[in-house]
Structure 1
Amino acid sequence: MLKITGLTKRLGDFVLDGVDLTVADGEYFIILGPTGAGKTILLETLAGIYTPDDGTITLDGRDITRTDPKDRGIGMVYQDYMLFPHLTVGENIGFGLRQRKADPARIREEVQETAALLGIEHLLSRTPGTLSGGEQQRAAIARALVLRPHVLLLDEPLSALDTSTRDRLRRELRSICRATKTTVIHITHHFEDIFALADRVAVMQEGRVVQTGTPDEVFRKPATGFVAAFTGMENVYCGVSRVLNGEATIDLGGITVRTVSEIEGEVCVGIRPEEVILSREPFESSAANTFPGMVTEIQRNGTFSRVFVDAGVTFVAVLTPQSVERLRLAGGVAVQVTFKASAVHVFLR
């Protein structure tokens, strides 16, 4: 188990501010947040590149807060690979073992085994400059894994790759980490990474961790308006909640929505776009919330379309192009907006 308690680090005007996190043994943990939130500084502090001003880092019960980086049992892989250009792939992978003065026969064996795990054993005699981006990233990951780290830190390892390579390496990462039982902390901006890889997620904002949970908890039950907006919950509104017998009626000004909540007073509500159902006519449903509206805009994006509807407040729904065509949606078309009470997430302002 990796436990981070009250971790604080000031770098110029930026402050990593009292971060508390616990990452379980073998867990694949992803950290989200906008640029400047402190994600990379957190990873580099865990790796020992920075010494914290306050707080502790323990790994398997051992305090490593001020332990030398090479003795922490933590490996780190950056987005830009950072391979040595004058060394072969095999020499790059075995570099850390040579620094540890391991037996040459053992180095050859470990390099071959780790390269095979990443599917790059046929590239061991090549130099990094002759490899594709995906091959270089595999070599960088192999260089970290060959040292058998307790924790592997990945700083946006897939961001520089094309879509097909990223999808393929994403699948490989998950299977490799399961096979080696390596604990992983992974920074990403891609939501696809989260649902494909993460056991749990943390969201950072301005040097603080503002929410942790499973991917479903964070995306469907954001703790703050910032988390809701950052995770793509576009339908966020503020209003006044009144609760009777566990059912909340929330006045948003233009409309009133119903949900199950015990939170009263000034609140915000969020509804994910994929939870919003559009129809041309009212239909029989158990959904608690149905409102007439009018389509104001359709934004097409290949595999899906974002449909904007004025129904007292502006809702955004995500539909396939086929659904848009089947419903004959266009600007000025009257529609019904429907969503379940369970789709409405309530949080304090």
Structure 2
Amino acid sequence: MIKIENLSKKWGSFSLKNISFNVRKGEYFVILGPTGSGKTLLLETIAGFHKVDDGRLFIDGKDITTLTPNERKIGFVYQDYMLFPNMSVLDNIAYGLRVLKEDERKIDERVKQLADMLSISHILHRYPYNLSGGEQQRVAIARALAIQPKLLLLDEPLSALDEMLRMRIIKDLKKINREEDITMIHVTHSRNDAILLADRIAVIKDGSIMQIGKTEEVFRKPKNKFIAEFVGVENLFRGEAKRTNGLTLFKTDGIELYSSMQIEGDVYATIRPEDIIISDKKIKSSARNCIPGVIKEMIDMGNVIRATVDCGIPFMVNITHEAMREMNLFLEKKVWLVFKAHNVNLFR
């Protein structure tokens, strides 16, 4: 649907560097990165607010690189809503359609359709200063959708909302993506928002795309140390890897782990806490990794217990309340950690 080829853009001392990716029709694509990584500049360049220095952009095979924002037919939702304060909610939503000189009857139908979908029919007569943050965000989304854009761009649309409103807007965004069958590119610094919304994720740092993949792939198999730390990998170790008997042996601080990944040399290893089985005795298993340790800390996270197990190096492990009771787990108890070779992710 949208194709970006080697896009570069300099902005003061900062620059986007050779950015390339494709987004399929109807896909919810999230660009995830820290503050100052270039997320908003990239979104605004796609929208046509800035001319590219190099590279090309295509929508449905058409080169839009030199088109104006109005010619691109792209919707844009800003972090701070950017509603017209002197217009009612109805007029805010209808604004783009009136600029396009659409028939008033069609405008009324489209406004009603969007207001019903986003549950804002009861506030059409009100003005932005009388709206809550969640209501303003819904109006901003409706206004962007009114012109039936081929692509909807969202710049940190959830960052100013409290947790309850965030979850409501997330449900709205999923509904829009499904019912409008619209392609969406959403930039955020929030790992949770990315997990809840994305079909695929691109991780950006310092104006460069570091990794693109499905949500599970990015969070479970990060390609480098920055991504691992940014997406919250908790078991991250540095060591030496060497191929042996069809597997890779990873050594760090006296601990040996087996991985199914084919890589050698000075590398990092990650293991997700949810991929580790904890046992109060050594068990026979097809898993290649089974290491002893001692429980040093247990924190009740509500749905699980988060335990720190000292195996010579500290491992974070998720334990269900039922498993803790059945095994009578307590601080300083000796346990065994079991996990498969394919759950050990290695990268440089």
TM-score scaled by structure 2? 0.93
Q: What pairs with 1:228-247 in structure 2 (closer than 5 Å)? A: 228-247=228-247
Asked if structure 2 preserves the Cα contact closer than 8 Å seen for 1:32 and 1:189, the reply is: yes
Give secondary structure in 1 for the equivalent of 2:296: strand
Q: What pairs with 1:151-230 in structure 2 (closer than 5 Å)? A: 151-230=151-230
CA–CA distance in structure 2, aligned partners of residues 319 and 12 of structure 1: 49
CA–CA distance in structure 2, aligned partners of residues 168 and 176 of structure 1: 12
Q: What pairs with 1:73-222 in structure 2 (closer than 5 Å)? A: 73-222=73-222
Describe the superposition over 1:46-86 as per-residue Cα deviations: whole angstroms up to 9, x where unpaired.
11121121111111122212211111111110122111222
The one-letter code matched in structure 2 to 1:30 is V
Instruction: Name whichever of 56-65 and 96-105 sits farther off.
Output: 96-105
Instruction: Name whichever of 271-280 and 40-49 sits farther off.
Output: 271-280
Question: Counterpart in 2 of 1:59?
Answer: 59
Identical-residue share of aligned pairs (%): 47
Instruction: Name whichever of 100-109 and 297-306 sits farther off.
Output: 297-306
Instruction: Name whichever of 190-199 and 334-343 sits farther off.
Output: 190-199
Question: Structure 1 residues 326 and 156 mapped into 2: Cα distance closer, same or farther (>3 Å)?
Answer: farther
RMSD: 1.9
Question: Counterpart in 1 of 2:261?
Answer: 261
Question: Counterpart in 1 of 2:6?
Answer: 6
TM-score scaled by structure 1? 0.93
Asked if structure 1 preserves the Cα contact closer than 8 Å seen for 2:110 and 2:146, the reply is: yes
| Count of equivalent residues | 348
CA–CA distance in structure 2, aligned partners of residues 84 and 324 of structure 1: 56
Q: What pairs with 1:334-345 in structure 2 (closer than 5 Å)? A: 334-345=334-345
Instruction: Name whichever of 202-211 and 4-13 sits farther off.
Output: 4-13
Asked if structure 1 preserves the Cα contact closer than 8 Å seen for 2:35 and 2:189, the reply is: no
CA–CA distance in structure 2, aligned partners of residues 31 and 322 of structure 1: 37
Unaligned runs of 5+ in 2: none
Describe the superposition over 1:283-330 as per-residue Cα deviations: whole angstroms up to 9, x where unpaired.
333221111112233444444443222212111123356655665555
Asked if structure 2 preserves the Cα contact closer than 8 Å seen for 1:286 and 1:340, the reply is: yes
CA–CA distance in structure 2, aligned partners of residues 230 and 321 of structure 1: 28
Give secondary structure in 1 for the equivalent of 2:102: coil
Question: Structure 1 residues 225 and 7 mapped into 2: Cα distance closer, same or farther (>3 Å)?
Answer: same
Describe the superposition over 1:86-124 as per-residue Cα deviations: whole angstroms up to 9, x where unpaired.
211101101111222222222222211221221212211
The one-letter code matched in structure 2 to 1:49 is F
Instruction: Name whichever of 85-94 and 58-67 sits farther off.
Output: 58-67
CA–CA distance in structure 2, aligned partners of residues 57 and 15 of structure 1: 17
Question: Structure 1 residues 187 and 328 mapped into 2: Cα distance closer, same or farther (>3 Å)?
Answer: farther
